[in-house]
Amino acid sequence: MTETDQSDTVSDRYLKREVLGEGTYGVVYKAIDTKTGQTVAIKKIRLGKQKEGVNFTALREIKLLKELKDPNIIELTDAFPHEGNLHLVFEFMETDLEAVIRDRNIFLSPADIKSYFQMTLKGLAFCHRKWVLHRDMKPNNLLIGPNGQLKLADFGLARLFGSPDRRFTHQVFARWYRAPELLFGAKQYASGVDVWAAACIFAELLLRRPFLPGTSDIDQLGKIFAAFGTPTPSQWPDMVYLPDYVEYQYVPAPPLRSLFPMASGDALDLLSKMFTYDPKARISVQRALEHWYFSSAPLPTDPVKLPRPAPKSRAPDFDPQDGPTVLSPTRKSRRIMAGPERFEGNSNQEEKIDEHAGEVRQAVGDIAGKNEQVPMSVDFSIFGTKPQSTPTINSADSCHLKRELDREFQHDE
């Protein structure tokens, strides 16, 4: 079967290519934007079944994601509903940090590690400045473009479409990056969860293997405590009040140097500040970026010179001869057809909606009132209203959704 035979169109604009992978929220395809000739990645998000679907809160949040423009953030270029799924269109990226870390043919110098990590923190700092939390930082969400630029992906999706469901095997790894307050069931959490996850990624870059690969939440905490010592109430006063707090046998911390024998003193100092137990005492992303680790020798490698694996796919890109062959109904008839039945999809969606979103936002709002300096959460500052736990869509809604997305992304009529 040839490349063209496999092609399909998604809406009348995108020429679908191969599947790039199956993610938390659905399949990701490579596609060609026939309007611009650019290669893009389309994330097909399964919407809820029957009564579920896109609600207007989600629509507003998609608009906000579109506004997050930074060199170290993946750009959302378009969004549209199609055949019962919501499609999010992103700039196409060649590889990701997980592939870099796992590739045994790649040697990462201290300057290379510094560069990859600095770009990670820059993207995260931008989002925290905009009061957005990532909540699912892990190496395969850090995508790398042809010029070596690292960009954060999946921003806000955890909030939009529910927390990643860790029953799915590909989500199990997300546990390795979870902050101890989340593992103890904290409902109020802030940017510190992303700092902890970023520290795990830094550690993984230094070690070239996952640093804390827990097999369950209990084991995850066990691994954290084995690395940094069991936290004492004086180190982390709020710990004992967390909903899922259980007392662990006290173990002292081994010297950090013994865990990272090859790391510089600067790197160890930054790691220890990011791996601080008490989230209130944990360094912020902005402060981490200002740490002398980044200004001391060796300076971060220029991104274009960074080592990276061969691009995942070598499929030929856009050839105007290819099409598109419009297999889907034209835009106008799709719009008429878009009733509730057009939005059917994943029956797991209801379970995946974050049932704690409202509590978190509420709690975060309370705290933020006391401390205006700390970006608390996207849930608090941007998204003022609680999403419906079972979002519904009727045919009037779906037409409105389509119209809104068309307007937002300036689709042609």
User: Could you give the residue numbers annotated as active site?
Assistant: 136
- State yes or no: 23 annotated in a binding site: yes
CB contact at 8 A, 27 and 82:
no
CB of 90 to ligand ADP, least distance (A): 4
Does position 86 interact with ligand ADP (CB under 6 A)? The reply is no
Q: Is 41 a residue that touches ligand ADP (CB under 6 A)? A: yes
- What's the min distance (Å) between Cβ of 130 and ligand ADP? 20
> In a 3-state reduction of DSSP, which class is residue 70?
coil
- Is residue 148 within 8 Å of residue 101, measured between CB atoms? no
- Stretch binding ligand ADP (CB under 6 A), from 18-26, 107-115, 121-129, 269-277: 18-26
Chain positions 174 to 203 lying near ligand ADP, rule: CB under 6 A, are: none
| Segment near ligand ADP (CB under 6 A); pick from 22-30, 203-211, 256-264, 300-308 | 22-30
**Residue 21 in contact with ligand ADP, rule: CB under 6 A:** yes
| CA gap 228, 209 in Å, rounded | 18
Do the annotations mark residue 247 as ligand-binding? Answer: no
Name which position in 73, 133, 153, 183 contacts ligand ADP (CB under 6 A): 153
Measured over the CA atoms of residue 96, residue 97, residue 103 and residue 109, the dihedral's sign is positive
Handedness of CA 303, 117, 174, 58 (dihedral sign): negative
Taking each helix axis as running N to C, give the angle between helix 192-207 and helix 265-274, from 0 to 180 degrees, rounded to the nearest 10.
150
- Length of the chain, please? 413
- Closer residue to ligand ADP (CB): 90 or 343: 90
User: Could you give the 3-state DSSP secondary structure of residue 114?
Assistant: helix
Smallest CA-to-CA distance from 279 within 203, 360, 197 is with 197
How far apart are the C-alpha atoms of 201 and 141, rounded to whole Å?
Answer: 11
Q: For residue 162, count other CB atoms closer than 10 A to its CB.
A: 21
Question: For strand 76-82 and strand 39-46, is the pairing parallel, antiparallel, or unpaired?
Answer: unpaired
Provide the minimum distance between the beta carbon of 301 and ligand ADP in the complex, in angstroms, as a whole number. 22
376 binds ligand ADP (CB under 6 A): no
Alpha carbon distance 50, 53 (integer Å) = 8
Strands 14-22 and 8-10: antiparallel
Q: Is 27 annotated as a binding residue?
A: yes
Nearest distance from C-beta of residue 41 to ligand ADP, angstroms: 3
By CB under 6 A, residue 23 contacts ligand ADP: yes
Cβ-closest position to ligand ADP: 23
Q: Does the protein bind ligand ADP through residue 140 (CB under 6 A)?
A: yes
Of 33, 52, 68, 92, which lies in the binding site for ligand ADP, with binding defined by CB under 6 A? 92
Q: Is 152 a residue that touches ligand ADP (CB under 6 A)?
A: no
Is residue 345 close enough to count as binding ligand ADP by CB under 6 A?
no
Q: Which residues bind ligand ADP (CB under 6 A)?
A: 20-21, 23-24, 28, 41, 43, 74, 90, 92-93, 96, 140-141, 143, 153-154, 170
